Chains A and B, each alone.
Chain A
Amino acid sequence: MAVIDVNGLSKVFRAKTKEPGLRGSVRALLRPTYTELGAVKGISFAVEAGELLAFIGRNGAGKSTTIKMLTGILNPTAGTAQVLGLVPWESRRQLAYTIGSVFGQKSQLWYHLPALDSFRLLGSIYEIPHRDLAKRLDAVVELFELAEFIKTPVRKLSLGQRMRCEIAASILHRPQVIFLDEPTIGLDVVAKLKIRELIKRLNEEENTTIFLTSHDAGDIEQLCKRVIVINHGEIILDTSTSYLRHNYLTTRIVNVKFAEPCPGLRLSNAEILKHTEKGVKFRINTRSTSIEDVLGELFAQADTADISVEEPAMEEVIRDIYRRPAGEGEQDAVS
């Protein structure tokens, strides 16, 4: 069953325009002119219960606008959306009891108080009965391993510990869907891994649907089975992470170690990047050339000791998607 169902959702902002200089400012003051900015342009998608989805895009692509519409903070210009069967902007308060959100750059914890105090306050905001809250707190503290610092004022926590508390704070009321907006921003490698592990456990153990935005390729690769890429307000790709990883960027780097030097090596369909006495490194495009053909050509000329094939890093794949002009990419998309 789809817990998020979006159809033709659009958001157009009206922004004031101004010509440069003082004259432009005076003119804008006396006779303002406006321009319409399409932040989200008729997007459609559905998210099933228990999915862990990455919703990615460059800055200004329309990610936050979409999340704001799905949480009921912003009204759309056109289109429809339902989250857990409710229209977010019509039933915002009702929906708030069943969804959670974490905005990596905005804290919901009290800076000068221990996280436990914030949790209790949130318990009251969500009207969780005292006994239930105590039980839930025990479970969340255990799941997120917070016992060590739950009574320490938030200002004294590391960023990683704070983010664990932020996510814990957003799940106290057992939301069925949680929107995580850049939860690993600014964290070190160890803290990132911890947050990823927790998100995964949250998804697996509580079957929480997770809608994640991130600029970190590792978050997407290690957590999400599905990726939606939004660019200039349009969905340019909606596919599985493994498809993206293996099929989207079709270049492969091959590293070969020679048993004997092979100075005259020629490969007709590969781009040689480095060639030394010890080995060769070359790039091939698997869309136009098969690896077997190139390796056949290699074996015919050289005595090889070791071969390894590198897939492009997820970061590179995403960079490539972002670089493509709008419209290109849909042909690659699979649902």
Chain B
Amino acid sequence: MFTEAKRAVRFVFQYFSANLQSAMEYRGAFLSQVVFMFINNLMLLFFWWVLFTQIETLNGWSFEHVMLLYAVASGAYACQALLFGGSFTLSRAIAEGRLDFYLALPKPVLLHVLISRSAASAWGDLVFSLAIFALTAAPSPGLLLAFLILIFAGGVVMTSFAVLANSLSFWLGQSEQLADELIEALLTFSLYPEGIFSAATRFVLYTVIPAGFVSYLPVRILTDFTLVHVVLMILFALGLALLARLVFYLGLKRYESGNLVVINATE
């Protein structure tokens, strides 16, 4: 099992490295994407700063909390986009029959599809995330480690959610639009402070659209550490990943049967 895990990590790293090399082939495009993403995130945070010059707190959330929220959410997004960028285009891969390529190779299909792509612009998100985190407090090595673990767990939640949303294509045919909107909704909700939502909305945000596990809970852990929350965070990320894997492979059975609406039936 240990050898298997080591092999999987090496496999992920090799794809990550190939994706990075591929992005760096176009130095100008790569650097400008990174810089513009950084500026884009900074602009969003700037509006919150303007708001917080007028008010002290927003339902218990200060500007420092919002900064931390942005650091965590953009860090989680960067983990998803850099390591598992294929999660954004999975629906299209299913609809266009591109899973054939991965099915013909001796690696786990889902992992292989997920790591096959990496969004270069997400380096801008990662740099932004770390920079804002460094500004929020004087982070100790321990806190930095906790931060990195939490953004990785958040990235796993986002990736798993994207896999679930995109797997709808196995049953609905071309449902890229729906999947894209669901993925966008998760990211959007992750960037608003939990305090502004009603209890009912919060319930949705900790279940159906799990923004709570992408940013709210990690922020709470970083500001007010409790072991229970850490365990809850890790269990949720793990549980959602297992659910996404289950649903994907159920859908893959339909793909293998060739009866997807979108499959070219006779070729």
Contact = CB atoms under 8 A, between A and B. Distances in A.
B261 A16 contact: yes
Contacts, number: 78
A125 B267 contact: no
A127 B7 CA distance: 9
B259 interface: yes
B11 A125 contact: yes
B258 A125 contact: no
A318 to B, nearest CB: 19
B103 A121 contact: no
Interface in B89-140: 100-101, 103-107
Given A112-B25, A117-B18, A62 B266 contact: yes
A39 B266 contact: yes
Contacts of B257: 74-75
A126 B20 CA distance: 21
A68 interface: yes
A89 B101 contact: no
Nearest to B99: A73
A103 B105 CA distance: 13
A209 to B, nearest CB: 17
A113 B100 CA distance: 22
Given A37-B265, A37-B266, A60-B267, A113 B21 contact: yes
Interface string B1-41: 00000010011001100100110011000000000000000
B14 A75 contact: no
Interface string A49-78: 000000000011010110010011111000
A68 B265 CA distance: 12
A59 B266 CA distance: 9
A92 interface: yes
Contact of A73 (B21, B256, B265): B256
B263 interface: yes
Interface in B189-227: none
Q: What range describes how many residues of B lie at the interface? A: 20 to 34
Q: What range describes how many residues of A lie at the interface? A: 35 or more
B86 to A, nearest CB: 14
A39 B259 CA distance: 12
Interface stretch (A93-101, A196-204, A241-249, A268-276): A93-101
A93 B100 contact: no
A117 B100 contact: no
Interface string A173-189: 00000000000000000
A113 B22 contact: yes
Contacts of A127: 7, 106
B104 to A, nearest CB: 5
A261 interface: no
Interface string B240-267: 0000000000000000111101010111
A59 B265 CA distance: 12
Nearest to A63: B267
Given A65-B267, A92-B103, A110 B18 contact: yes
24 contacts: A13-B258, A13-B259, A13-B263, A65-B258, A71-B103, A71-B104, A72-B103, A73-B103, A75-B257, A89-B256, A93-B106, A93-B107, A94-B106, A103-B100, A106-B101, A108-B101, A112-B26, A113-B21, A121-B14, A121-B15, A124-B14, A125-B105, A125-B106, A127-B106
Interface of A: 11, 13-16, 37, 39, 59-60, 62, 64-65, 68, 71-75, 89, 92-94, 96-97, 101, 103, 106, 108, 110-113, 117, 120-121, 124-127, 153
Given A59-B267, A127-B7, 17 more contacts: A13-B258, A13-B265, A37-B265, A39-B265, A64-B267, A65-B267, A68-B100, A68-B258, A71-B103, A74-B258, A94-B106, A96-B105, A96-B106, A112-B26, A117-B21, A124-B10, A124-B11
